[in-house]
Amino acid sequence: MGDASMPLFEQVTIIGLGLIGGSLAAAVRSGGLAKKIVAGSRSSRTLERGLSLGLVDEGYQDLAQAVQGADLVFVSVPVSAMAATFSAIVPGLERHAIVTDGGSVKGSVIAAARAQLGAHFSRFVPGHPIAGKERSGVDAADAALYQRHRVILTPVAETDPAATQAVRRLWTAVGADVLSMGPDEHDRVLAETSHLPHLLAFSLVDTLARQGDSTDIFRYAAGGFRDFTRIASSDPVMWHDIFTENQDAVLAAADLFAAGLARFRDAVARGDSDALLGIMTRANTARARFLAMNARTSYTQAQSATDEHHMKADQNAAQARNPEFIVQPGGQLTGQVRVAGDKSISHRSIMLGALADGVTEIEGFLEGEDALATLQAFRDMGVVIEGPHAGRVRVHGVGLHGLKAPARTLYMGNSGTSMRLLMGLLSGQAFASELTGDDSLSRRPMERVAKPLREMGAAIGTTGNGTPPVSIRGGRTLKGIDYTLPVASAQVKSALLLAGLYAEGETRVTEPAPTRDHTERMLAGFGYPVQRDGASVTVRSGGRLTGCQLEVPADISSAAFFLVGAAIAEGSELLLPHVGINPTRTGVIDILRLMGADIRLENERDSGGEPVADLRIRSSGLKGITIPEELVPLAIDEFPAIFVAAACAEGDTILHGAEELRVKESDRIQVMADGLTALGVELETYPDGIRIRGVGQGRPAFTGGEIESHGDHRIAMSFAMAALRASGAIRIRNCANVATSFPGFAELAGRAGLSLQVQG
């Protein structure tokens, strides 16, 4: 809210003192944002009530008189009354006055303002606060109505930017989240997401009310019917105006829905099971996906929004704050912890299951945001996917050439793996596609994948900085290449192998050092021929994948945080069952053992082509080492946790050859160095690594303090474990993206013995 000693405006005038206008008046009053608040209304009773409630200082039925002396005028009247209202206020407007509005249809409001305001049109800032209540009128005015709600501004070419900025400051000061978009886009989007649902609710209730047995219909209606038709109780006059003023966009949205309803009806009539499942599984998760994209939150958080109350709570929480971890010092880790499913394998199980012939049954699927982004992308390309339900997913494969063009951009959230692997897979499709992601992913490099794919004949575009969005032109003829990776990278290797499924001849990838080989193993598990010869992997197009059953092992990258936590906290003993121990992923175990960690592999076995074991870890004294460079690619994702172990070890730990850490979700070398320094650790950074001086056993390795994770989930979880050897509490900011790789981390760590509290 504003500073009462420095108001933004001398005078704010509200034209139309109902819920929307009255609430803005109350918020301006509460925040001390104007020296004087004036109301204009044709209703003397409304003005009297506004004065008695203390919302306004003065009130006038003459609208021109009401706006005299105003710096800012907010017009909150029905859309159909905007033209007459603009005409009425013009004689009283000061030359410097800014006019803005709250109309829910922008095209007709802008046209009315252009026609009526004349030379003052450049000072008009069209806007739409998206907020409301069941009650209406001035008595429902609420100073908190706009907090954590959205206000959309739709300025046009003639709009004075300074006026737009002033209106933005006002809405921001009352707690709103202010967005901007074009007026035509606004009217289309609102027609599809707000106006159409109201139209359907009015129509459905009216249709059923006309039936002879309508009394029984309403008497026995289930909760879903009541929820859906609740909005039919909205003000008919207001919605009559909206449907009339936004006629073209509403009709287009209605036609879009009619076409979708016809497809649904046809699937029911034909008994087409796959078509029905496709429609309903897409719809079942689409709501969570839209909320995640809209609020930049996780799919898992959005999926928990099962009713309107939860949905609003999730949106408000995501808009208002980012969760923080507060971890109290000391403690030990004990018991048995089953960590999240392997993210790398979860990604690939969906991709290859979708390209297979037949059904693939998956157990242990990681229900985190990254893997769900991959799952949603294939739903968007026409693949029927049931679940996930408690880690179980059923993928109805469409074959190598069965994917369909997505209707819109494929949103990858925070998942670099999803984007990079799909770049290869989509390069061989007949259709064009575009990949985008959240703010973090949009800063990450994609050219190291795009460059060799272009050598194969793919048409791929990135930004001038080589970052997303990534555009892929379809219908290209790909040719196999013999490519040696300049830097070891499982993601680049996998992207090329997936493109190789569609390329003429052989695609051969040679890596300078071993990287995770989940793609090769899983291709073979689906029956696709893969040739492995030393450091090279080769595939040839023309093969076929066959649906199968997969069990995803627990993720060794997720296990790494608990391995480090138990190793550094005296008195700890922890069992981590069914963890994947693929030899291309066990670098973290090898490094910790070289440092002296007591890690034992028990019950080693095979699970769907992937080796797994139960890991038992006991606390022990660690010593600093120079990390062998051949182990670096095998532990690239686990280094944030290893850095925490290094700070607890006796002597220096030195890392070189890890340039890739600088282009992960964050510059992990620098971000970890900043955090460790803030907690009192001595260190030195290099372009390709770091030297960390550990303190050994018997005393705290870290002070308390505040850590900025920069939205990097592995940074956040690593510093959470550092609290086990800290002298004070550690606060870790910006932890929302922990859900990308390890949903439920905080709860699981708490049960194991970490004193972790989530705030926000």
Model pLDDT, residue 290: 64
Task: Return the sign of the alpha-carbon dihedral for residues 278, 280, 283, 288.
Answer: negative
Residue 278, C-beta contacts closer than 8 angstroms, at least 6 positions apart: 382, 383, 384
The pair phi, psi for residue 660, each rounded to 5°, is -60, -25
The DSSP annotation for 372-441 comes to: HHHHHHHHHTT-EEEEEETTEEEEEEE-TT-----SSPEE-TT-HHHHHHHHHHHHTSSS-EEEE--TTG
* 41 contacts 16 by C-beta, under 8 angstroms: yes
* 423 contacts 434 by C-beta, under 8 angstroms: no
For range 575-601, the mean pLDDT? 96
For range 449-472, the mean pLDDT? 96
Rounded Cα distance between 326 and 496, Å, is 42
For range 550-575, the mean pLDDT? 96
For range 247-264, the mean pLDDT? 92
* 95 contacts 36 by C-beta, under 8 angstroms: no
Rounded Cα distance between 174 and 146, Å, is 7
Percent of the chain with pLDDT over 90: 75
Rounded Cα distance between 288 and 209, Å, is 32
Q: Is the pLDDT of residue 248 over 70?
A: yes
- Give buried/exposed letters for 32-41 (b at 16+ CB in 10 A, else e): bbbebbbbbb
For range 318-342, the mean pLDDT? 85
Q: Is the pLDDT of residue 325 over 70?
A: yes
Q: Is the pLDDT of residue 303 over 50?
A: no
For range 87-94, the mean pLDDT? 96
- Lowest mean pLDDT of 111-115, 199-203, 637-641, 721-725, name the range: 199-203
Residue entry with tokens 């791929």: 460
One-letter amino acid of 475: G
SS3 state of residue 526: coil
Q: Is the pLDDT of residue 299 over 60?
A: no
Average pLDDT, the chain: 90
Q: What is the DSSP letter of 626?
A: B
9-59: pLDDT as tens digits? 999 999 999 999 999 999 999 999 999 999 999 999 999 999 999 999 999
Nearest to 740 by CA among 712, 709, 720: 712
Q: Is the pLDDT of residue 228 over 90?
A: no
Q: Tell me the C-alpha to C-alpha distance, in Å, between residue 344 and each of 38, 518, 522.
A: 60, 7, 11
Model pLDDT, residue 313: 37
With bands split at pLDDT 50, 70 and 90, how would you rate the model's confidence at 317?
Answer: very low
Q: What is the DSSP letter of 487?
A: S
For range 622-630, the mean pLDDT? 96
> For residue 477, how many other CB atoms are within 10 A of its CB?
11
- Give buried/exposed letters for 130-156 (b at 16+ CB in 10 A, else e): bbeeeeeebebbebebbbbbbbbbbbb
SS3 state of residue 475: coil
Q: What is the DSSP letter of 134?
A: S
With bands split at pLDDT 50, 70 and 90, how would you rate the model's confidence at 296?
Answer: very low
Nearest to 77 by CA among 17, 132, 128: 17
Rounded Cα distance between 634 and 660, Å, is 12
Q: Tell me the C-alpha to C-alpha distance, in Å, between residue 122 and each of 80, 154, 171, 493, 712.
A: 22, 13, 19, 55, 43
SS3 state of residue 16: coil
Question: Which active-site residues does the annotation give?
Answer: 637
Q: Tell me the C-alpha to C-alpha distance, in Å, between residue 127 and each of 26, 28, 104, 105, 175.
A: 19, 17, 8, 9, 16
One-letter amino acid of 224: G
Q: Is the pLDDT of residue 451 over 70?
A: yes
Rounded Cα distance between 284 and 306, Å, is 11
179-227: pLDDT as tens digits? 999 999 999 998 988 899 989 988 988 887 777 665 666 666 666 677 7
> For residue 748, how many other CB atoms are within 10 A of its CB?
19
Percent of the chain with pLDDT over 70: 92
* 301 contacts 318 by C-beta, under 8 angstroms: yes
Q: Is the pLDDT of residue 309 over 50?
A: no
Rounded Cα distance between 67 and 393, Å, is 61
Residue 339, C-beta contacts closer than 8 angstroms, at least 6 positions apart: 554, 555, 558, 559, 562, 576, 579, 742, 748
Tokens encoding 715: 């940074």
- pTM value is 0.67
The pair phi, psi for residue 190, each rounded to 5°, is -70, -35
CA atoms within 13 A on the CB side of 117: 27
Task: Return the sign of the alpha-carbon dihedral for residues 188, 189, 194, 198.
Answer: positive
Model pLDDT, residue 413: 87
Q: Is the pLDDT of residue 253 over 80?
A: yes
Q: Is the pLDDT of residue 288 over 70?
A: no
